[in-house]
Structure 1
Amino acid sequence: MEHKSGFVNIIGNPNVGKSTLINALTGEKISIISPKAQTTRQRVLGFLSTDDYQIVFSDTPGYIENPSYELHKKMLGYIETAFEDADIVILIVEPEEKDINPDLIKRLKSLQIPLIICINKIDTSQQQKMNELMAYYKKEFPKADVMLISALHNFNIDVLLARIIEVLPEHPAWYPKDILSDRNLRFFVAEMIREQIFYLYDKEIPYHCEVYIDYFKEEDIPKIGATIFVSRESQKRIIIGKDGNLIKKLGTQARKNIEKFLDQHIFLELHVKVKDWRNDDKILKQFGY
């Protein structure tokens, strides 16, 4: 059998489980997750490699209908790129979800490559609802594979992976087989800090935060310094909390996750700065957008 390799790009509405799915498929924590929508902001590639194939999975931000900031436009750009370089597209939806953007549906129907529709979170809905949704998507996309999965509980992930391998094009590996992602350590560390912001803070606060790694000193005990950028002074006060109690809690939780990821102890230092970064193209480029 010839070697197979290709880009398998995962798209869908916000908070439907795209990041959980890529983590389940690769067996690694490629993308951060949280209960809040729009946790993923950048396109992240995760690789699953064997002697016979390499699958380049792509996690993308949730589809935004009316972008309000330059940041949102950048996020939509990642989705556009995912359509352009895909060899296989996975559309992930939730039970009872039929409210998909008409432009997105039109784009999906025009695809000339394999489309796999995954109805996720099946443990949260009744079988009759699932059957109705399966019938709906099979009618709307007659050429697509439609399957039920639970990314969180690994249900049917093996079936999905087998189908991906089956329709993967013949091609040499796109990336070295000894790496897991196209992103470096600094990116993952920043994302783990940002992930905890989504868990610890409410309302609009996580959406006004970006994390930048100032330094990463690889010593016996690595020293990491990071700055949390917020849009307004009032948000800075919320991040820090009374007597610094919240930022201490954030630092502790983030440090534990980073230590688990790196499998070693670290020192983590956090600072907070105010800057209207979401509409500043220069700053967004500095952050990797």
Structure 2
Amino acid sequence: MKALRALRTITTTLSPKPHKTPLNPTFLHHFYSAQPQEEDPSHNLNSSDSENGSDSVFDSTHYTIPGLGSETNAQAPQQPTWDEKYREKADGLIFGKDTQKRKLKILEEEEERRRRLLAKALLEAALEAADDEDEEEEEVVVKEEDQKSLSVGIIGAPNAGKSALTNYMVGTKVAAVSRKTNTTTHEVLGVMTKENTQICFFDTPGLMLDKSGYIHKDMKVRVESAWSSVNLYDVLIVIFDVDRHLTRPDQRVIKLIQHMGSQPHPKQKRILCINKVDLVKKKKDLLKAAKQFEDLPGFERYFMISGLKGYGVKDLTQYLMEQAVKRPWDEDPFTLSEEVMKNISLEVVRERLLDHVHQEIPYQIEHRLMDWKELRDGSLRIEQHLITHKLSQRKILVGKNGSKIGRIGIEANEELRSIFKREVHLILQVRLK
């Protein structure tokens, strides 16, 4: 496995680093991003395109992104995408008069660096080959009568770390993780399979409570599904942000934990996970906070964890493995189902949206998966629409010359390629409702 990981990182390691230049990036933007394009007389814009504008659409096929060993892309002739006179002007500004010599020197230096890194990576892979034989696990087919399964619901206050814990335990990003609250808007299934045991995780929206301790009316539709599904799981994890409790205590969170503990279910085990312990600097503060909950009824076990860093997650995983019951698995352990992959694609884009667009705008945008298609070469074509209700919101989301939606699209496309281990053609379109 170590050798395989080393070889997988070769492409990333050898990717040329961007050449630094003292020029104003805004100035170069006029040459590379806003240059005039030749008009194709055979192409007629429809009313939808003209209304939304070309800047409001991100298409990953318009960007040169290194593939995952795709021979098809390497062999396909690429048409020049730059206007030659603008390219010459920009090259002159960057390299000076001796443009060709400077370019050749940079290419030679880069090639030498690539060769050294390649040799180093191959040497490390060869040295670790012996370790791979011991660590490599074969895909063993478990008979149905020997299979064990467990359904786990993760619930708690907004931004308590539910998504981060789910992603860490499953090992694949299945839910949006962002600094903003309430980033999960629907249940997302994550599956962890070890030996003969499979655990299915259901990450629910953060339970929004108003000052009186009731569900916030603005999030009522989203959160009602979380409450209605609470009793459907074999194990319910109630997660609690201890760092926030120590710095900005909220009685609504205490009421939520007490509410979950006071309504036990006869066929369900409930546990309390005190999360984000890595952010608490003083151990005595952590122990003091934990003591507040040790006498609460309804919880079978307590765990101190960091869902982001993984502290204490091993003990939690072992406990869940012990609770599994004999029944057939629900998911194929070696492949992601199409439904899970669709959810992942939505969550990854949503996470990037939350990182780049601020205030209340991300929560007011309708996010839809419009098209999902596996192409003949094995790549995925994913089209998603981001629908805004105000023209001002659309302008903010698109950004100047499509810069913001372009950045969101590029980052999301790269992450999806890494998760799915294949080429992804992501198309994001911003529309006004």
- Map 1:228-243 to 2 at 5 A: 228-243=386-401
What percentage of aligned pairs have identical amino acids? 26
Query: Paired residue for 1:246?
Result: 404
Alignment pair present for 1:30 and 2:174: yes
Structure 1 counterpart of 2:262, one-letter code: K
- Map 1:134-283 to 2 at 5 A: 134-141=290-297, 143-180=299-336, 183-219=339-375, 220=377, 221-275=379-433
Kept in 1: contact 2:166–2:201 (CA 8 A) = yes
Deviations 1:140-181 (A, max 9, x none): 237531121111111111100111122334433344444556
Kept in 2: contact 1:194–1:210 (CA 8 A) = no
Query: Paired residue for 1:52?
Result: 196
Distance 1:116 1:141 in 2: 11
Kept in 2: contact 1:19–1:59 (CA 8 A) = yes
With normalisation by structure 1, the TM-score equals 0.85
Greater C-alpha Rg: 2
Alignment pair present for 1:89 and 2:230: no
- Map 1:2-151 to 2 at 5 A: 3-65=147-209, 66-69=215-218, 72-95=219-242, 96=245, 99=251, 100=253, 102=255, 105-112=258-265, 113-125=268-280, 126-141=282-297, 143-151=299-307
RMSD between aligned alpha carbons?
Answer: 2.3
- 1:5 to 1:199, Cα distance in 2 relative to 1, 3 A: same
Query: Paired residue for 2:64?
Result: none
- 1:268 to 1:249, Cα distance in 2 relative to 1, 3 A: same
- 1:256 to 1:130, Cα distance in 2 relative to 1, 3 A: same
- 1:255 to 1:2, Cα distance in 2 relative to 1, 3 A: closer
Distance 1:140 1:207 in 2: 34
Kept in 1: contact 2:188–2:343 (CA 8 A) = no
Structure 1 counterpart of 2:273, one-letter code: C
Q: How far is 1:216 from its partner?
A: 2.9
Kept in 2: contact 1:44–1:182 (CA 8 A) = no
What stretches of structure 2 of length at least 5 have no aligned partner? 1-144, 210-214
Distance 1:49 1:205 in 2: 37
- 1:166 to 1:216, Cα distance in 2 relative to 1, 3 A: closer
Deviations 1:30-73 (A, max 9, x none): 2121111111000111112234322111101100124334xx23
Q: How far is 1:82 from its partner?
A: 3.0
Deviations 1:83-132 (A, max 9, x none): 12021111111113563263663233221332211111111112112111
What stretches of structure 1 of length at least 5 have no aligned partner? 276-289
Kept in 2: contact 1:231–1:274 (CA 8 A) = yes
- Structure holding more helix per residue: 2
Distance 2:208 2:279 in 1: 25
Kept in 1: contact 2:388–2:432 (CA 8 A) = yes
Query: Paired residue for 2:35?
Result: none
Distance 1:89 1:45 in 2: 14
2:273 alignment partner, SS class:
strand
Kept in 2: contact 1:138–1:144 (CA 8 A) = no
Distance 2:255 2:412 in 1: 39
Distance 1:103 1:172 in 2: 34
Structure 2 counterpart of 1:122, one-letter code: V
- 1:183 to 1:240, Cα distance in 2 relative to 1, 3 A: same
With normalisation by structure 2, the TM-score equals 0.58
2:163 alignment partner, SS class:
helix
2:160 alignment partner, SS class:
coil
2:383 alignment partner, SS class:
strand
1:183 alignment partner, SS class:
helix
How many residues in Structure 1 have an aligned counterpart in Structure 2?
273
Kept in 2: contact 1:15–1:36 (CA 8 A) = yes
Distance 1:124 1:74 in 2: 32
Kept in 1: contact 2:369–2:384 (CA 8 A) = yes
